[in-house]
Amino acid sequence: MLNFKFTIISVAILSLLSMYSHADIYKYVDKHGRVILTDKPKHSGYKQLVKTWKGWEEAKVPKNFDWVKNQKKFDPTIRSVAKIYKLPHTLLHAVITAESSYNPNAISKAGAVGLMQLMPETAKQYGVSNRRDPKQSIYGGTRYLRYLAKLFNNDLALMLAAYNAGEGAVKKYGNKIPPYKETRNYVNKVIKYYKKYRISMS
């Protein structure tokens, strides 16, 4: 009987996860043991889920990591750098949210590091000596976005596609978003955050 209930709950959760397949998913277990899944976390108690070869798991972040607190902490720097490079600060926030969830020590499977997930070559090109340094990462990532904005005539979707897959991939497909599921999901995700932050961040 217990196994049967567990199976039903598991199937229900998997069904809900499939509904959020193109968005960040967060899980919260309340004091009654109820599991709440959403793409719009209301507080830092929600844990982001990531899809691995083992299935859906909680994203590995430092103990007691508070992304909401970090968002507020880095906001002044983000606004300042955005002003220098003439990009919307809400766009930088959107990219950082999608890339690292404001974790300066985040490392991707491909080897990208920091708030804006810079690869070694990109970091070197834009003067970043320590990719884990929040300020350096924000400066480097923003300079790269500024370059991509000029390269792709301020086409936001192409800028983001290039940031994710590389400018060469975008050019290879005739200045269109490459047909990579990860890249297309990434572009949609960042634009979604961007629209959200344009409303919530004045």
Active site residue 99: yes
Q: Which residues face 58 on adjacent strands?
A: 49
In the set 99, 121, 167, 182, the catalytic residue is 99
Contact in structure between 114 and 131 (CB atoms under 8 Å): yes
Q: Determine the 3-state secondary structure of 29 from DSSP.
A: strand
The candidate with the shortest Cα–Cα distance to 98, out of 186, 160, 199, is: 186
CA distances in angstroms from 127 to 20, 134, 142, 144, listed in the order given: 37, 13, 12, 11
Q: Is 71 helix (H, G, I), strand (E, B) or coil?
A: helix
Give kind and range of the element (H or E) at residue 56. strand 55-58
Report the half-sphere exposure of 187 (CA within 13 A, side-chain side): 20
Alpha-carbon gap, residue 103 to 64, rounded angstroms: 12
Do residues 82 and 91 lie in contact, with contact meaning Cβ atoms separated by under 8 Å?
yes
Active centre residues (catalytic):
99
